[in-house]
Structure 1
Amino acid sequence: MSTEKDSELYTVMHARKSVRVYDPNYKISQKDLEEIIQEATTAPSSSNLQAWKFIVIQDDKTKKELRTIANNQEQVETSSAVIAVLGNAEMYKNVEQIYTQNVEEGYMDEATKDLMINNTNRTYPFASMETRKNIATFDAGLISMQLMLVAKEKGFDTVTMGGFDKVKFAERFELPEHIFPIVLIAIGKAAAPAYGSSRLPLKDIVQFI
């Protein structure tokens, strides 16, 4: 049984910090970015509907535009790329594709597939937009954390940014109504060490019953 001292997972978890100063000359390849996102998609999601989408912004001119939308945060422009994590409030429309693929890959049988599709179609389309957006936002948090850990394992640094004008972002990138921005993740190589940060003691946040 591994301990915290010899666990690669714990090493990556503790090494990951929110980096805001990046080497503007360092560029991550699109192949590396694709691999990071692909690995991150192993994150769980509500009914496996994977209510996430991404825009990966590498173009320098576009990053400069985005900086004005993101409260002038320097890392938007100096990082190698900014990964915009988006939510899909019509995630249920992918249900046939997802569960058919589950059968093809041997994860479930046809009867289970049909049951899951029917259950999804009886619930998600009739949920309010607010409820579906909340589901997508929660799932985006799961995949965002996983993405940052994968990035760190590959030797890259990240920081999440919730402080940006989501209305202007949606307008700039011409998002349809059911696709909405949730968080921006800057990714690149640190040019200065990140600040450490403390955590509240367990006695202040956990109750065992």
Structure 2
Amino acid sequence: MEKTFKQILQNRRAINFFDPERKVPEGLLRELVADAAHTPSSFNLQPWNIIVLRDKDEKMRLQKLAMNQPKVSEAPVTLIMLADTKAWHKDNDSLQLVLNHKLQDGELKEEQRDWFHGVCEKLYGKSRDSELAFAVKNTAFFAMSLMYAATARGLQTHPMDGFDHDGVKKEFNIPENYWVPLLMSVGYHAKNAEVLPIKQRKSYDDIVLSFA
């Protein structure tokens, strides 16, 4: 039965216990990523990438840098989410791919190429803070879409920010332009493992502020 979006929102949980024997097929993972790729991003620059870990030894290497959380290795797939702080730069391969798409679709004309580079630099390349904000916020949007896509297809996820950022970058030879905003385990809930009650959330009145 197809889930409504409200059901997806409510069913999405940060699961601690995964079934290590139930695999996530490559084709299914590709579908999740393809779904999440529809996430909106600044200027459609899509400054996100992922490293997919399936090998037990690789996941154990990551687990040692992630507060030794068992779910890192128990989940059939654990992702290292990458936020490309240089995805706005004219020499960045990802930007060139996006720019070519814009030219192919007629969104931009060839003579607007330099203008586009200049706008991206002005918006996102002003400082290290602006680069980081640009990359991380957009990659966080993508990660959330990925979690909802997984929930819609009967999978469970757990996003994690408890890890040694610099250690992970060094261990997996991640280039300097990437920031790692989170890790994400993906799989199926372990049989007979407890599912904790849904935690309380802020209400509308708690969320809305005014400083006037």
SS at structure 1 position matched to 2:180 = strand
Q: Distance in 1 between matches of 2:129 and 2:172?
A: 22
1:147-173: CA deviation from partner (whole Å, max 9, x where unpaired) = 000011111000100000011100011
1:180 match: 179
Q: Distance in 2 between matches of 1:135 and 1:123?
A: 9
Question: Using a 3 Å threshold, how does the CA distance of structure 1 residues 98 and 68 change in structure 2: closer, same or farther?
Answer: same
Aligned with residue 43 of structure 2, among 47, 64, 89: 47
2:204 match: 202
| TM-score (norm: length of structure 2) | 0.87
Q: Distance in 2 between matches of 1:156 and 1:112?
A: 46
Aligned with residue 65 of structure 1, among 56, 61, 64: 61
Q: Given that residues 52 and 86 in structure 1 are in contact (C-alpha distance below 8 angstroms), is that contact kept between their aligned partners in structure 2?
A: yes
Q: Given that residues 160 and 184 in structure 1 are in contact (C-alpha distance below 8 angstroms), is that contact kept between their aligned partners in structure 2?
A: yes
SS at structure 2 position matched to 1:182 = coil
For 2:182, give the aligned amino acid: V
Q: CA shift at 1:88, angstroms?
A: 0.7
SS at structure 2 position matched to 1:146 = helix
Q: Distance in 2 between matches of 1:14 and 1:113?
A: 44
Correspondences of 1:67-82 after superposition (within 5 Å): 67-82=63-78
Correspondences of 1:109-124 after superposition (within 5 Å): 109-110=108-109, 114=113, 115-124=115-124
SS at structure 2 position matched to 1:22 = coil
Q: Given that residues 19 and 189 in structure 2 are in contact (C-alpha distance below 8 angstroms), is that contact kept between their aligned partners in structure 1?
A: yes
Q: Given that residues 99 and 117 in structure 1 are in contact (C-alpha distance below 8 angstroms), is that contact kept between their aligned partners in structure 2?
A: no
For 1:128, give the aligned amino acid: S
SS at structure 1 position matched to 2:23 = coil
Q: Distance in 1 between matches of 2:123 and 2:143?
A: 26
1:3 match: none
| TM-score (norm: length of structure 1) | 0.88
Correspondences of 1:1-209 after superposition (within 5 Å): 8-92=4-88, 93=92, 94-105=94-105, 108-110=107-109, 114=113, 115-125=115-125, 127-191=126-190, 192-195=193-196, 196-207=198-209
Q: Given that residues 99 and 113 in structure 1 are in contact (C-alpha distance below 8 angstroms), is that contact kept between their aligned partners in structure 2?
A: no
Q: Distance in 2 between matches of 1:113 and 1:40?
A: 29
SS at structure 2 position matched to 1:55 = strand
Q: Distance in 1 between matches of 2:116 and 2:38?
A: 19
Q: Given that residues 22 and 78 in structure 1 are in contact (C-alpha distance below 8 angstroms), is that contact kept between their aligned partners in structure 2?
A: yes
Q: CA shift at 1:105, angstroms?
A: 3.5
Q: CA shift at 1:54, angstroms?
A: 0.5
Q: Given that residues 124 and 130 in structure 2 are in contact (C-alpha distance below 8 angstroms), is that contact kept between their aligned partners in structure 1?
A: no
Question: Which sections of structure 2, spanning at least 5 residues, go unmatched?
Answer: none
Q: Distance in 2 between matches of 1:16 and 1:7?
A: 12
Percent identity, please.
Answer: 24
Q: CA shift at 1:90, angstroms?
A: 0.9
Aligned length: 202
For 1:184, give the aligned amino acid: L
Q: CA shift at 1:176, angstroms?
A: 1.3
